[in-house]
Amino acid sequence: MELLDTLFGADLVRAIFSDVLRLQRMLDFEAALAKAQAKIGIIPSSSAAAIAARCRVQQFDLTAIARAAATSGNLAIPMIRQLTKLVAADDENAAGHVHWGATSQDVIDTGLVLQLRDAMSSIEKDLAILSDILVRLAKQHRDTPVVARTWMQHAVPTLFGLQVAGWLDAFDRHRDRLKQMKKRALTLQFGGAGGTLASLGDRGLDVAEALARELHLALPEMPWHSHRDRLAEVATTLALLSGTLGKIARDIALQMQTEISEVSEPAAEGRGGSSTMPHKRNPVSAAVALAAAIRVPGLTSTMLTAMVQEHERGLGGWHAEWDTLPEIVQLTAGSLHHMIEALKGLEIKTDRMLENLEETQGLIFAEAAMMALAKHIGREAAHQLIDAASHRALAERRHLRSVLVEDVAVTRYLPAAEIDGLFDPLSYIGVARKFTDRVLAEHRNVSPTGERG
Amino acid sequence: MELLDTLFGADLVRAIFSDVLRLQRMLDFEAALAKAQAKIGIIPSSSAAAIAARCRVQQFDLTAIARAAATSGNLAIPMIRQLTKLVAADDENAAGHVHWGATSQDVIDTGLVLQLRDAMSSIEKDLAILSDILVRLAKQHRDTPVVARTWMQHAVPTLFGLQVAGWLDAFDRHRDRLKQMKKRALTLQFGGAGGTLASLGDRGLDVAEALARELHLALPEMPWHSHRDRLAEVATTLALLSGTLGKIARDIALQMQTEISEVSEPAAEGRGGSSTMPHKRNPVSAAVALAAAIRVPGLTSTMLTAMVQEHERGLGGWHAEWDTLPEIVQLTAGSLHHMIEALKGLEIKTDRMLENLEETQGLIFAEAAMMALAKHIGREAAHQLIDAASHRALAERRHLRSVLVEDVAVTRYLPAAEIDGLFDPLSYIGVARKFTDRVLAEHRNVSPTGERG
Amino acid sequence: MELLDTLFGADLVRAIFSDVLRLQRMLDFEAALAKAQAKIGIIPSSSAAAIAARCRVQQFDLTAIARAAATSGNLAIPMIRQLTKLVAADDENAAGHVHWGATSQDVIDTGLVLQLRDAMSSIEKDLAILSDILVRLAKQHRDTPVVARTWMQHAVPTLFGLQVAGWLDAFDRHRDRLKQMKKRALTLQFGGAGGTLASLGDRGLDVAEALARELHLALPEMPWHSHRDRLAEVATTLALLSGTLGKIARDIALQMQTEISEVSEPAAEGRGGSSTMPHKRNPVSAAVALAAAIRVPGLTSTMLTAMVQEHERGLGGWHAEWDTLPEIVQLTAGSLHHMIEALKGLEIKTDRMLENLEETQGLIFAEAAMMALAKHIGREAAHQLIDAASHRALAERRHLRSVLVEDVAVTRYLPAAEIDGLFDPLSYIGVARKFTDRVLAEHRNVSPTGERG
Amino acid sequence: MELLDTLFGADLVRAIFSDVLRLQRMLDFEAALAKAQAKIGIIPSSSAAAIAARCRVQQFDLTAIARAAATSGNLAIPMIRQLTKLVAADDENAAGHVHWGATSQDVIDTGLVLQLRDAMSSIEKDLAILSDILVRLAKQHRDTPVVARTWMQHAVPTLFGLQVAGWLDAFDRHRDRLKQMKKRALTLQFGGAGGTLASLGDRGLDVAEALARELHLALPEMPWHSHRDRLAEVATTLALLSGTLGKIARDIALQMQTEISEVSEPAAEGRGGSSTMPHKRNPVSAAVALAAAIRVPGLTSTMLTAMVQEHERGLGGWHAEWDTLPEIVQLTAGSLHHMIEALKGLEIKTDRMLENLEETQGLIFAEAAMMALAKHIGREAAHQLIDAASHRALAERRHLRSVLVEDVAVTRYLPAAEIDGLFDPLSYIGVARKFTDRVLAEHRNVSPTGERG
């Protein structure tokens, strides 16, 4: 399924989860294990050097590993077998120290953690970039009126800056979640066959500590072979992020509809063209982000279902994770990449936003009128009065303003000038700007790397 | 994620969903379209010949297509562009007839349907093979006693043949489902840009009919661009199958546990070995089938969620299907392949089955005893009596038989010989054999191709 | 969660899955079991009469059953205990024949099947009603032009009748699926403790046959205690249906947007009103159907995951079904009910459909123009020419027609009158009417009960 | 579906999500809103008092609200209508101040947040109780040998204390997650019709602040009507917890199997009895926790899918949450409750654990033997030697120990006494105790309320 990877993924994260880097990270574990064991004197330094020298994926026959995995049931066994042979060719003694004390799951899980560390770093950088774009947009459009839509119907006016602030605000939470999750998830897996490191005698913990240092990973209280909440939390954290990206994509797709045309994904050579309709521009980035938001929940439910793993190391549940978690990471990274593309060059048509506010001939200001009237005659009465006027406006296809100025029950309390003012979008946006400012305040001292002050 | 494909997939179906065959099936659509249009006189025969000559995937630059898909949003657009260029090199006029009247989704959807047709054929063949294996096993073990376990506790005796018949019976239903689903799902997609075939004027339906004939596909009442129940049903049908395969895998894994050891996946070079525990045989096939049974439901929920597609052709939902459905097919085919592997060489330890029946020192026959006694004193009284005896047997770690023969309240109605007979597994298996025979009767006249008579 | 049941459910199906009817159907099983056993002479007729007389839910203490279920782990055990007591009060001997030979799962599963039979009958009736509405709409609007939208952008013209025919066509498939599924799913569950009916000696199958007759249910080849594909297929079949209903709801919600206003859910007292916006009409039915289409896939994935049930009767998987399947049925029935409500009174604004076709100032006819031109100069050249004209029209905010009539490269081949004709929606709808007619042909001889001839 | 609620739920949390408390929490919002507005002088104190006096669920007609919700599309509209009438009966003027400035979603979302706050508090208390139980068990069984099982096969020895420590360790992470999630999730929802609080003019933020204070909820930067990551994170956090509970339940169910019998759920009157098998004890609590672990992932995927909500307030997605999130909370609380029940009285059979270690006649110590030998002859040679011995032991059905002491290739390096020592479980448990101690160290200063020092 490589053909579609460029569409749905993001280049860097796609590389991180390539076959080649998957194996390399497993080999990184083996090299670090040998070095750690040499440092604390469990194996000779010469063995560590000989092993580390061979832990380079270029020297491995990936096809053979893939084929052997079909009978061994995992990638580690054939990889270690190849590694052992390669090392033996250089140093027979060192070959006996390959993978010493570790079990297949140690190398597979830790290799995955190393991939996840790289991927999370890339995603965090992209999140910072996206936030910067949104900060700029929210400031630029702090005063741009646009329709607030609820239940997919016009409701009342709002500001486009606030709409953007809502997107930005969600990413602030996602960045906190990622940070907290990483502390729990990015830890060493090292327990040996049964989680006791028994084959290392009483040196197991020493090796574990040295190995964690070598890989710059946190050392967990104990191995977590059959406790998968750490990895499942990677999935859920990204699923939440992917959901927000999908929500933005939906907003863009909706506001980009031909009849609405308030925003548009940027135009670019070959981007979103149709094979037969020359005038059409398809929201390609929105399509990708929406697809991700549809796919990631199902994949995440797989990661959650797979948590029920048996005893010290489970059957089936572990295997179910191998392709699922990388897919979640890649889909989320791809969705993020596409939303950066869409938002950084987003075409924003403020004139069209104003036109759309007029679509209902003033009915969108009905609540404003009701509230203004309610101050004089109470809400219930105001509601009835404006309701009647609204229905008249609809039936007679007239502007609500003109219906109201003719209605003595209204003009008794509201002079024509005040009625006119009710139909200015900026007169009925409440504390929208204050909300936007509260969100932006979080970003006042943002460093270039995206760390909030 | 190629490295794990050999483990989780089945060779043939994996090939069907390779990048190369994905594109080839799309090209098959383009070739057939040109031929169909030539046949009904819409384009010259020379054009059809020129187009068909170039519809061979070997001539295409897949990397360029993948790269271009990232901006065009689908594979069809860059593929058609390449095809047009290739054809133009041979016949400038024919180039203008490439993809005539079709839209991207026509070629992508129909290409997928062609892949699905091949895959379903392979899966049906494997289902027939699996059924044959199960027919043999059910017959062989029609009289082999084994513990019936409920809520993961010993319940009463049953026959291993009936356990196998239960598996077989489920596959009978799956084969019917596949057959019925194929009639609905394997249909042509051809509607042009808006589902009206407008660019073909009044010849749209003629082309559609000729094209369906060309591809040996059914012609649907109308295009189904945004009605995805056909494809979602492929997913649900396979998900049901995958669930049954997972159930069998769980049974095997449970009965293969060290303390139970009633069955075992076949031994083979490299199969299920552990890197550090020489005595261990891991149930690799069960692991794969269980992993599939965990993954397919989440993927299927994606296909179902993706059904909500907008208007004439949707945004995001369609894209969400592209990798998801092939993954479901491949996981199911892989699971099926592994269960064939596991079952065709399954080691069955009938002696261990008998030993396990004795594990509870006769308590597994408590219901038998209760029923025998109930004939004389009613069920309630019998229940109480046997309940007491059972607890005594447990407390005193004695065989229930010996407790019963000492109990005058029991021996008053049941002579010792009759009590003895109660503890023969074959004396308390009800109509187990009849159930097995009812299932086997469905397979009396099975042709070599698996069609039931 | 009763409060929301009236919103999300349909009255009849909600009643079918009420606590009261859930228990009643279980009691129906117990009554039928006793009658069947009396008929074949296993228990006295007097016992059957005594038992049947007490199998009325009004006589049971539901609160006590609910409380006891928390320790017994299912509803059958406390229900049978109450039943036995009730019968004993009338006829001590009969009490010993209650639930004779059956296990908890027999009564729970069969009770559920009886509920499903009623629910499917109700859903099928509603499907027939919905189809009749759609047949009427498709005929009425066979010639009503409307925009075909793809990727949420205007594509080309189509007919509203064809849009409706697409909905109708999907329901035709769903009705076939339901019919086929019912044959597999609506079968008796009766196997006793271990699936062998051992406690009935050699009369097990006779009882099973008589019981199936009594309940008018099909007798399966063997019990299916741990083979849940029958029930999971109920879920997947309804999930497919729910997906189509969600697709229609999305279409309605999109076409009901303020700026588009092509259709509207019917107005009714209290329906979709806003608490503060007097002019607003919320698409309540679409909201419910969309919510169902979001919820049912997750619930269905639960049913599929739960299929992996252990041995003869599983642990956890079975329990996971109890609330999940009824929820799926109710959500689907509710969604169906709401779509009937929405569609039977759907307001269709054909004038607005025409206006929207003009939204792009003729660009929606660009493909038509390109195709007309292509006949003269080939598709590639035509594409470039129309592409340029389209961009000019966009840039200068003019109608494409007026740009084309000024372009000598166009008028050389197409006279002004022919250009004018290109911009008539009905001139570029291909075989849309034929597609509609093909779908309607399936409904020519529909009987009042919805059976197609 | 009330009948099963006592089985699957936990009493307190079930009450929190009852219809009555759902409405009461919504009324709490209305009362607090009036009070807050009175405090900052927006409405008269008399109005606030009149409104607050009527915000008691006992005065409401729930059936009428449920019925009206079916047309209004949510519970808030009919509830507010009833409230307004009730208040009007006391104070006509106050009636005009009911729900002032708020929208339906404000009251529904905040009401839900108040329910969640109560539920999380209950869940955290139960987590503390469960952790205390596990601390005790881990200490008690710090030195109890048990089989470590991987891929559902015997692997090597471990300690039961470490198995328990693994469970405990996971809950430590869950408690951190809950704490972090609560900070994000438990916030006020208050934005008015379009998220701008426009109907409160420039006092919107003042009201929001006062209202947050009144309800003791955090005030978010801005309303989050269509940004549902806060609520979806409640779901994912509980789903992770539910996964761990399911893993423990699986372990218990597996170790409780008749042939294994290492642990058992506590016996109690009516608990897990079978209707026909007097000797059987079903793991009811494990069944419930496993069912929850199967159901919650699907429900969580619904919450994630529902995140794609349109514009300022969405259609369908919001509605999909209403029953789904409460269901997730209740299932998780019920699962937690059942695991407390199972673990606080768990029967632990240490003698049976020892017996099972002998099940393979010493093969479980093969790795120990290999490692001991490897020190002398290298791992590769040792592996081959022990492999051969293991197969001999298997073939001849002898204890591995007796095979090894006869093998001169072994005895050359290992004297008989040393070989004997290899088969003592406590001699091959590596740093198992140290791992256990590391986990327990986190619990040294646990206060009675469960706060870790």
pLDDT tens string A173-228: 999 999 999 999 999 999 999 999 999 999 999 999 999 999 999 999 999 999 99
In a domain, A271, yes or no: yes
Q: Which residue has the tokens 């609620």?
A: D5
Query: Cα-flanking dihedrals φ and ψ of residue D442, to 5°?
Result: -65, -15
Band of pLDDT at residue A375, cut at 50, 70 and 90: confident
pLDDT exceeds cutoff 50 at C453: no
Based on its alpha-carbon atoms, the radius of gyration of chain C, rounded to whole angstroms, reads: 30
Say what the pLDDT of residue A394 is: 87
Instruction: Supply C52's token pair.
Output: 């049947």
Q: Are A263 and C152 in contact (CB under 8 A)?
A: no
> Which of A149, A152, A300 to probe the C interface (max C CBs under 10 A)?
A152
pLDDT exceeds cutoff 70 at A453: no
- pLDDT tens per residue across span C313-326: 999 999 999 999 99
Band of pLDDT at residue B375, cut at 50, 70 and 90: confident
pLDDT exceeds cutoff 50 at D43: yes
Give percent of chain A above pLDDT 90: 87
Residues of C in contact with A278 (CB under 8 A): 366-367, 370, 383, 386-387, 390
d(CA D175, CA D129): 12
Q: Which residue has the tokens 């009625």?
A: A419
In a domain, D166, yes or no: yes
Chain-chain contact of A283 with C153 (C-beta, under 8 angstroms):
yes
Of residues D191, D178, D177, D180, the one with CA closest to residue D219: D191
pLDDT exceeds cutoff 50 at C207: yes
Question: D436 and D384 share a domain?
Answer: no
Q: Are C165 and C198 in contact (CB under 8 A)?
A: no
- pLDDT tens per residue across span A69-84: 998 999 999 999 999 9
Mean pLDDT lowest among B41-45, D10-14, D308-312: D10-14
Question: B181 and B124 share a domain?
Answer: yes
Of residues B311, B70, C363, the one with CA closest to residue A284: B70
What region, left, alpha or beta, does residue C430 occupy, with left being phi > 0 and alpha being psi -120 to 50 degrees?
left
What region, left, alpha or beta, does residue B316 occupy, with left being phi > 0 and alpha being psi -120 to 50 degrees?
left
Say what the pLDDT of residue B435 is: 98
CATH of the domain at C321: 1.20.200.10
Chain-chain contact of B173 with C184 (C-beta, under 8 angstroms):
yes
Give percent of chain D above pLDDT 70: 96
pLDDT exceeds cutoff 80 at D417: yes
The 3-state secondary structure of A60-95 reads: CCHHHHHHHHHHHCCCHHHHHHHHHHHHHHHCHHHH
**Mean pLDDT for chain B?**
94
* Closest-CA distance of chain B to residue A314, Å: 9
Band of pLDDT at residue A273, cut at 50, 70 and 90: low
pLDDT exceeds cutoff 80 at C278: no
Q: DSSP alpha helices (H): ranges in D92-159?
A: 92-95, 104-140
**Mean per-residue pLDDT, A413-426:** 94
Query: Cα-flanking dihedrals φ and ψ of residue A29, to 5°?
Result: -60, -45
- pLDDT tens per residue across span C337-346: 999 999 999 9
**Mean pLDDT for chain C?**
94
Question: C181 and C136 share a domain?
Answer: yes
pLDDT exceeds cutoff 80 at D322: yes
Q: Are A87 and A51 in contact (CB under 8 A)?
A: yes
> Which of C147, C150, C153 to probe the A interface (max A CBs under 10 A)?
C153
Could you say which of D73, D199, D287 has the minimum Cβ distance to residue C284? D73
CATH of the domain at B395: 1.10.40.30
Q: Which residue has the tokens 């969400």?
A: B320
**Mean per-residue pLDDT, B10-26:** 95
In a domain, B36, yes or no: no
Residue of B nearest to A298 (CA): B298
In a domain, B142, yes or no: yes
> Which of B80, B150, B299 to probe the C interface (max C CBs under 10 A)?
B150
Q: What is the largest CA-CA distance in chain B?
A: 102
Instruction: Supply B437's token pair.
Output: 């025979």
pLDDT exceeds cutoff 80 at A354: yes
What region, left, alpha or beta, does residue B190 occupy, with left being phi > 0 and alpha being psi -120 to 50 degrees?
beta
In a domain, D206, yes or no: no
Could you say which of B153, B258, B277 has the minimum Cβ distance to residue D366? B277
Q: Are C337 and C284 in contact (CB under 8 A)?
A: no
Chain-chain contact of A277 with C152 (C-beta, under 8 angstroms):
no
Mean pLDDT lowest among B3-17, C131-145, D170-184: B3-17
**Mean per-residue pLDDT, D14-24:** 96
Residue of A nearest to D145 (CA): A196
β-bridge pairing A263-264 and A347-348: antiparallel
Q: Which amino acid is at A95?
A: A
Could you say which of C193, C294, C304 has the minimum Cβ distance to residue B300? C304
- pLDDT tens per residue across span C291-309: 999 999 999 999 999 999 9
pLDDT exceeds cutoff 80 at A292: yes
Question: C230 and C374 share a domain?
Answer: no
- pLDDT tens per residue across span B254-295: 999 999 999 999 987 777 766 556 567 899 999 999 999 999
Query: For residue C344, what are the domain limits?
Result: 103-187+224-359+431-453
Residues of B in contact with A6 (CB under 8 A): 66-67, 69-70
Q: Which residue has the tokens 């081959």?
A: D384
pLDDT exceeds cutoff 90 at D320: yes
Question: B228 and B289 share a domain?
Answer: yes
Instruction: Supply C79's token pair.
Output: 């229900």
Question: A393 and A435 share a domain?
Answer: no
In a domain, D321, yes or no: yes
For residues A165-194, one letter each, b for 16 or more C-beta atoms within 10 angstroms of the residue's C-beta and e for the rest, the string is bbbbbbbbbbbebbebbbebbbbbbbbbbb
In a domain, D260, yes or no: yes
Instruction: Supply C200's token pair.
Output: 């009935």
pLDDT exceeds cutoff 70 at A426: yes
Residues of D in contact with B351 (CB under 8 A): none
**Mean per-residue pLDDT, C225-233:** 98
- pLDDT tens per residue across span C13-31: 999 999 999 999 999 999 9
Chain-chain contact of A155 with C277 (C-beta, under 8 angstroms):
yes
In a domain, D34, yes or no: no
Question: B289 and B318 share a domain?
Answer: yes
What region, left, alpha or beta, does residue A257 occupy, with left being phi > 0 and alpha being psi -120 to 50 degrees?
beta
- pLDDT tens per residue across span C405-439: 999 999 999 999 999 999 999 999 999 999 999 99
Q: Are C57 and C20 in contact (CB under 8 A)?
A: yes
Instruction: Supply B305's token pair.
Output: 């969620």
Instruction: Supply A69's token pair.
Output: 């995995």
d(CA D160, CA D251): 12
Question: B274 and B388 share a domain?
Answer: no
Question: C333 and C290 share a domain?
Answer: yes
Residues of A in contact with C150 (CB under 8 A): 274, 282
Residues of A in contact with B70 (CB under 8 A): 6-7
Q: At what angle do helices D76-90 and D104-140 cross, to 10 degrees?
A: 110
Question: C374 and C355 share a domain?
Answer: no
Q: Give the total number of structural domains in chain B.
A: 2
Question: D341 and D408 share a domain?
Answer: no
- Cα dihedral value D235, D240, D243, D244, nearest 10: -140
pLDDT exceeds cutoff 60 at A275: no
Q: Are C366 and C386 in contact (CB under 8 A)?
A: yes
**Mean per-residue pLDDT, D354-374:** 93
Chain-chain contact of B229 with C251 (C-beta, under 8 angstroms):
no
Q: Are D431 and A202 in contact (CB under 8 A)?
A: yes
Chain-chain contact of D359 with B258 (C-beta, under 8 angstroms):
yes
- pLDDT tens per residue across span C328-383: 999 999 999 999 999 999 999 999 999 999 999 999 999 899 889 988 998 778 98
Q: Are D224 and D321 in contact (CB under 8 A)?
A: no
Most confident range, picked from B170-184, C8-22, C69-83:
B170-184
Say what the pLDDT of residue B379 is: 78
Instruction: Supply A24's token pair.
Output: 């390399």
**Mean pLDDT for chain D?**
94
Chain-chain contact of D320 with C65 (C-beta, under 8 angstroms):
no
Could you say which of A158, A310, A432 has the minimum Cβ distance to residue D152? A310
pLDDT exceeds cutoff 90 at D278: no
Question: A257 and A332 share a domain?
Answer: yes
pLDDT exceeds cutoff 50 at C448: no
* Closest-CA distance of chain D to residue C368, Å: 34
Say what the pLDDT of residue C380 is: 79
Q: pTM for the whole thing?
A: 0.97
**Mean per-residue pLDDT, A233-246:** 98
